[in-house]
Amino acid sequence: MSEDHKKELKKQLWNIADTLRGKMNADEFRDYILGFIFYKYLSEKMEIFANEILKQDKIEFREINPSIPDFDEYLKAIKEEALEQLGYFLKPEELFSEVAVRGKGENNEDDHFDEEKTGFILEDVQKILLNIQLSTMGTDSEEDFDNLFEDMDLNSTKLGKTPEARNTIIAKVLTHLDKIDFKLEHTELDVLGDAYEYLIGQFASNAGKKAGEFYTPQEVSMILAKIVTTGKQKLKSVYDPTCGSGSLLLRVAKEVDDVGDFYGQEMNRTTYNLARMNMILHGVHYREFDIKQEDTLERPQHVDMEFEAIVANPPFSAKWSANPLFTSDDRFSQYGKLAPSSKADFAFVQHMIHHLAENGTMGIILPHGVLFRGSAEQHIRRYLIENKNYLDAVIGLPANIFYGTSIPTCILIFKKCRENPDDVLFIDASNEYDKAKNQNLLQDEHIKKIVDTYRNRTELEKYSYRATLKEIAKNDYNLNIPRYVDTFEKEPDIDIEAVAKSIKTVDDSMVDIDKTIEQFCKDLKITAPF
């Protein structure tokens, strides 16, 4: 598929989102439109899978109904295979396109939908979404589909005051979505996954402060993904302890040929649902991902597991309990101090390091304060550098590149087995970006420069520097980037003699002008102004 076709698909999906957007705020209509796209994806995947099974019988899945011989046997066999391979099951009459046609009723495929001509599908759709979940009960995929559509309340008055009004808007959305070909038969193309990521990004840009809860800008995700996959074509596992919509995990997968398993944890229930949908929609088999819904610091779910690549964009300086009981927790016990309750940044660092495999790399996005704040955080920094020597690089990013906050941020890279154990690479990329209306942007050349500098550990004037461990110790483990990367721009020398002559020339000129004005005033027989 050409780039033009991809752009057209994104445009079509965003235009359909506009149908709902006028009735509710960004994060509310996001849940509905992404949910309907996911339902369409599951339906098309189901139909393609079933038709392949039925090919030898010269019958298509849509044709299976109670009037044909062996109806029950067909359904039973297909359901059994679907639950094993896809993880869920839909009946022929539950397919998205079948429901869309019933909902369209006698309406034309234009922007106006007549309520009286629309088929009533409201209850059907709600029941089908529930049936998708129920079909997985007692199977290996049950947890992955559990309450997956719970944020799509089709009886909400936000969709319309009456059932008829809600039905009309849903029928309209389904009809327009039904016209779009997701091209799922082309398994090598991740067209829909790409479009889905685009929509999530668009919603994030409209969601203000809430955006940071579920989305990391793609250009920052790309930097993290390229760094943690450096030198590797395959990963056994990748983990994100604050996975949001799962976009960071999926970005890592784009940088290598294969990822064995995806692991993540997310506290927000709605975002957790979005992450699971995102995984399935990108073709990640339900057996290959394990996303949990819980507070990562307080109740970790992947206890004692180690991962080859770890990435995270945790909430900046979030609060946590810092319960004294955690001093005996394996994640924190060796440090001697806990991160302060008012700022959990280093608690996330400690959690991730605990889960990092010996041959692994981790990258975490944090506010600049982690580089220089004192007390417990200084103690933890010192332990990580002096005792463990895990810190591999510090990368300063431009301000105002994240949704919902304009503060400058940094990326910390950690490794347990470092190829360059004698120094820490500092990169100051804070001044290299393109300025946009509401947000600063990192372009491809900015990303490439950061990644190449990291991979080659290049020292560039006013951009990067390899600081020895002794230098860092001399700075009392303060990692503030300007201490190591000198970005000072010298002011040009001023020729005082030339300036003095220039002032003298101006003064002389003003005397001549005053005399001229005085003469004019005499000629006009008026008083001079001085």
> Is position 305 within any domain?
yes
> Is position 313 within any domain?
yes
Does residue 141 sit in the same domain as residue 39? yes
Instruction: Out of 33-42, 82-91, 162-171, 488-497, pick the least confident.
Output: 488-497
pLDDT of residue 209: 47
pLDDT of residue 505 exceeding 90: no
Does residue 467 sit in the same domain as residue 436? yes
Does residue 392 sit in the same domain as residue 527? no
Higher pLDDT, 158 or 268: 268
Nearest to 37 by CA among 268, 146, 195: 195
SS (H, E, C) 248-278: HHHHHHCCCCEEEEEEEEECCHHHHHHHHHH
| Cα–Cα distance measured from residue 226 to residue 369, given in angstroms and rounded to the nearest whole number | 25
Packing angle of the helix pair 96-104, 26-54 (nearest 10 deg):
120
Q: Which domain holds residue 528?
A: 495-530
CA 383 to chain centre: 31
> Is position 210 within any domain?
no
pLDDT of residue 27: 65
> Is position 209 within any domain?
no
pLDDT of residue 448 exceeding 80: yes
Does residue 127 sit in the same domain as residue 12? yes
> Is position 270 within any domain?
yes
Instruction: Please say which residue of 172, 203, 234 terminates a domain.
Output: 203
- Structural domains counted in the chain: 3
Does residue 175 sit in the same domain as residue 53? yes
Instruction: Please say which residue of 174, 203, 232 terminates a domain.
Output: 203
pLDDT of residue 158: 84
Q: What is the CATH number of the domain that holds 276?
A: 3.40.50.150
Q: Could you please report the per-residue DSSP string of 142-171? A: HHHHTTTTTT--TT-TTS-SSHHHHHHHHH
> Is position 211 within any domain?
no
- pLDDT one-digit tens code per residue, 120-139: 999 999 999 999 999 999 99
> Is position 48 within any domain?
yes
Q: Which regions of 289-348 does DSSP assign to beta strands (E)?
A: 289-293, 307-312
Which two structure tokens, joined as six digits, stand for 386?
A: 């002096």
- DSSP-derived 3-state class of residue 484: coil
- pLDDT one-digit tens code per residue, 178-222: 988 877 776 555 667 777 777 777 776 665 544 445 568 889 999
pLDDT of residue 34: 86
User: How do 356-367 and 409-415 pair as beta strands?
Assistant: antiparallel
What share of the chain has pLDDT > 70, as a percent? Answer: 92
pTM of the model: 0.87
> Is position 111 within any domain?
yes
Does residue 272 sit in the same domain as residue 412? yes
Does residue 407 sit in the same domain as residue 284? yes
Does residue 312 sit in the same domain as residue 174? no
Higher pLDDT, 502 or 78: 78
Q: Could you please report the per-residue DSSP string of 8-39? A: HHHHHHHHHHHHHHTTS-HHHHHHHHHHHHHH
Does residue 368 sit in the same domain as residue 503? no
- pLDDT one-digit tens code per residue, 388-429: 999 999 999 998 888 667 788 999 999 999 999 999 999 999
pLDDT of residue 116: 81
- pLDDT one-digit tens code per residue, 290-342: 999 999 999 999 999 999 999 999 999 999 999 999 999 999 999 999 999 99
